[in-house]
Amino acid sequence: MTAEIRIDALLPAEMARRAENVGVRKAEAGLVPLFSLAILAGAFIALGAVFATTVAAGAGERLPYGVSKLLVGLVFSLGLILVIVGGAELFTGNNLIAMAWASGKVSTRALLRNWLVVYIGNFIGSIGTAILILLARQYTFGGGQVGATALSIAVGKVHLGFVQAIALGILCNALVCLAVWLTFSARSTIDKIAAIIFPISAFVAAGFEHSIANMYFIPVGLLIKHFDPAFAAASGVNLDGLSWGAFVLRNLIPVTIGNIIGGTLLVASIYWLVFLKRDS
């Protein structure tokens, strides 16, 4: 007798229960595997950022603004596809653990432990990828257009206003968590990929801010600036204000705050109230 294979997608109520169960497993994960998978996720998102930067190089000069942004967003989706399908721990997606926390199935300590360990691991994976890109001198490809684009992206991100960065972070992680939420309906790898592409493309095309992606985008610009000053000078990009302090204070902190708000309040809390509150 063969097992029945279901190909229909799960409905939202079932998705909420799956999200809750996944949140419990993530919160109970051992420290070493959790940290290792977090490093992988940082590297995966950084690889999506490398892909996006390479595709963006020169695209704005040849394509209309919206079309070039759409193309960049589509290729950046690689990062979350690798995280979800390959299996890794991403801080922004793990904001959905708040659903299991709200149901009382995950303690506050376990929730914050997961977020802290994963955030640090994501940072290491992202920075490590940026260092490899520097050593590989991939930024010099395309006649230096890739590096010039990387520098321009980094500069733009450290010149956001604090409140603006929070708001852009809120909008970003609402879409990222919606992408992860949609994958809870999936029964196949193709389902998961299809669920990821459009929300992620939307946040990138719209210019929203993702804290983990920015752990690559800004440091790679800083590394080029400090370790290849001749290239940085020749790029023609004004690097005033691009510093490690600006990275942390003007982008990483406010964007992280925004990401948490967007993921927990705009996605996790609403779906918990609708589908899980009556069961808790």
For position 71, which CATH number holds?
1.20.1080.10
> Residue 20: which H helix or E strand, with range?
helix 12-27
CA 213 to chain centre: 5
Q: Residue 1: inside a domain, yes or no?
A: no
Distance separating alpha carbons of residues 115 and 93, to the nearest angstrom: 10
Return the pLDDT at 161. Answer: 98
> In this predicted model, what pLDDT tens digit does every residue of 187-223 receive, in sequence order?
999 999 999 999 999 999 999 999 999 999 999 999 9
Number of domains in the chain: 1
Q: Residue 100: inside a domain, yes or no?
A: yes
Q: Residue 271: inside a domain, yes or no?
A: yes
Q: b/e per residue, 174-186, with b = 16+ CB within 10 A? A: bbbbbbbbbbbbb
Q: b/e per residue, 32-55, with b = 16+ CB within 10 A? A: eebbebbbbbbbbbbbbbbbbbbb
Distance separating alpha carbons of residues 273 and 14, to the nearest angstrom: 14
Q: Residue 123: inside a domain, yes or no?
A: yes
Q: Which of 195, 186, 214, 188 is nearest to 92 (CA)?
A: 214
CA distance to 131, 134, 218, 251, 264, per residue, from 144 (Å) = 17, 13, 17, 26, 40
- Are 90 and 83 a contacting pair, CB within 8 Å? yes
Distance separating alpha carbons of residues 197 and 182, to the nearest angstrom: 11
Q: Residue 5: inside a domain, yes or no?
A: no
Q: Residue 169: inside a domain, yes or no?
A: yes
Q: Residue 137: inside a domain, yes or no?
A: yes
Q: Residue 2: inside a domain, yes or no?
A: no
> Range of 230's domain?
12-279
CA distance to 21, 92, 176, per residue, from 16 (Å) = 9, 18, 16
Amino acid at 238: N
Distance separating alpha carbons of residues 267 and 248, to the nearest angstrom: 26
In this prediction, the residues of the chain whose per-residue pLDDT falls under 70 are 1-7, 279-280
